Structure 1
Amino acid sequence: MPEKPRLLPVDEADLQEKTLASLAPYRDNDGRIYTIWATLAHHEDALRRYLVFSNHVLGKNTLPLKSRELMILRIAARAQAGYEWDQHVRIARRAGLSDETILEAATGARDGLDELDQVLLAATDSLVDHQGVDDELWDRMCAHLSTEQVIDVLYTVGQYLTIATVINTLGVRTEGEFALPLPRPALQKEVPA
C-alpha cells in the first residue's frame, strides 16, 4: 500500500448523471459515495459496467451471506486490503457473524466453522494461491454446493482479488477508523491445485 492515495476520489459534482444513478445504492449512512467507487469513478464507463458484475457478486450471489462474507474477509486479510477488510467486517457483523468468527476466517483458523465454510475457505485459499482447486477439493465443493454456487465461489474470489488489487495499488483509504484491526493471516499448508 502506498504511503498516500495515488488517486483521490472524484468529487460527486464532477460525475455524469448516469454514473450518479449507478452509484445511488453505494452510499454510506451520511449519503456520501463510498471511497472505492468514487475513486474508480476516474473511469466512469468501466465503473458502471463493473457495478453490474459487482452487484451480482455482492447482492445476488447464490452462496449463503455469512459464508460469502467469510470468503471475502479471508481474501482481504491475505491481501492486506484494509478498505475491503473494513467494509466487509461491517457487512459481516450486520449478517450476524461474531468478531471471533471473522478473525478466525481471516487468520485461517477453521476448526470452529461448519463443514461448508471450511470447504469454502479452503477453496478461497487454493484459488488465491493456485487459481484453481485440485480434484479432492472440487469433489468437496460439489458435495456441498450446486453448480451455480460453485461458479459463484469462483466469481466471488475473482471479484474480491480484483478489488484488493485496486485498493492496494491505488492506495484507497477507509472512510474512518477500522471497525476491527486488520490481522496478518497465517499461511495455509500448500494445497496442490
Structure 2
Amino acid sequence: MPASEPRLHPVQEKDIPEKALAALEPYRNTDGDIYTIWATLAAHPDALRRFLVFGNHVLGKNTLPVRLRELVILRIAWQAQAEYEWLQHARIARRVGVSDDEIRALGRLEPDGFDEVEQTLLSATDQLVAEADLDDAVWKRLRDRFSAEQLIDLVYTVGQYQTVAMAINSFRIQPEPDIAALRAELPLPARA
C-alpha cells in the first residue's frame, strides 16, 4: 500500500493506559519510542495486550527457524502490499542473514534462489494467503520436513502477519524514518 495519511494516528505515550504501556515496553526503537504500529493499535489497549501475547509467540517463540519465519513474513508483506511490514522485516531478515537479493526475490510472482525446503515454505505461504488451505502435495512436502509444532507455527505465522498487514493497510500506518530509509535500498515490489 503506498504511503498516505494515516487513518488512525498513533496514540501519544502519555495517553496509553499503564497495563498496555507495560506490555509495549519491548516494542521500542533505538530512540526509545514505541513503534508506530503498536502505538496505533494502542487505540484499543485491551485488544492490543491480548494480541501481543500471541504475537510474542509468533515472533519470539516460534519453532520455525528464524530465517524461514522471516521469509514467510516478507512473502506475506509482498502479497498484501504492506509496506511497513515489508520494510520492518527486511531489516530483521538482513540481521538473520537473508541477503538483499533474496529479499527482492520474495517480491516476485515466482521467487527464485531458494533451496527446496524454502521454496516449499514459500509455496505453502502463497496457498495459505490465497486459499486458507494447503494442497496435498505441498502438505506432504511440509510434513516430510517439519514437525507438527512447526506446521502449526507456520499457519499461526501466516495468520498473524496477514492480520498485521490488514491493520497496516487499513489504518495507513506509516513507517518510522529509520525504517522508511530502507525504501531506497529495498522498496516493496509492486504485485503484477
Same fold by TM (over 0.5)?
A: yes
Aligned position for 2:189: 183
Aligned position for 1:190: none
Aligned position for 2:56: 55
On the 8 A contact 1:72/1:156 being kept in 2, the answer is yes
| Backbone CA RMSD of aligned residues | 1.2
Q: Where does the alignment leave 5 or more consecutive residues of structure 2 unmatched? A: none
On the 8 A contact 1:78/1:184 being kept in 2, the answer is no
SS in 1 for 2:25: coil
- Post-superposition CA distance 1:24-68 (Å, at most 9, x none): 100000000000000000000000000000000001000011111
Report how far residue 6 of structure 1 moved: 0.6
Rounded to whole Å, the distance in 1 between the matches of 2:15 and 2:122 is: 40
1:71 equivalenced with 2:72 (yes/no): yes
Which residue type is aligned with residue 94 of structure 2?
R
Which residue type is aligned with residue 188 of structure 2?
L
Which residue type is aligned with residue 135 of structure 1?
D
Aligned position for 2:154: 153
Identity value in percent: 58
Which residue type is aligned with residue 175 of structure 1?
E
Q: 1:52 to 1:24 in 2, by over 3 A?
A: same
Rounded to whole Å, the distance in 1 between the matches of 2:84 and 2:106 is: 17
Report how far residue 114 of structure 1 moved: 1.2
Which residue type is aligned with residue 39 of structure 1?
T
1:6 equivalenced with 2:7 (yes/no): yes
Which residue type is aligned with residue 20 of structure 2?
T
Which residue type is aligned with residue 181 of structure 1?
P
1:18 equivalenced with 2:24 (yes/no): no
Q: Where does the alignment leave 5 or more consecutive residues of structure 1 unmatched? A: 187-193
Rounded to whole Å, the distance in 2 between the matches of 1:138 and 1:185 is: 26
Report how far residue 178 of structure 1 moved: 4.2
Rounded to whole Å, the distance in 2 between the matches of 1:178 and 1:53 is: 29
- Structure 1 length normalisation: TM-score? 0.93
Aligned position for 1:44: 45
- Structure 2 length normalisation: TM-score? 0.93
Rounded to whole Å, the distance in 2 between the matches of 1:80 and 1:116 is: 24
Rounded to whole Å, the distance in 2 between the matches of 1:16 and 1:174 is: 23
Aligned position for 1:138: 139
On the 8 A contact 2:78/2:106 being kept in 1, the answer is no
Which residue type is aligned with residue 14 of structure 2?
A
- Post-superposition CA distance 1:81-111 (Å, at most 9, x none): 0110111001001111110011112324443
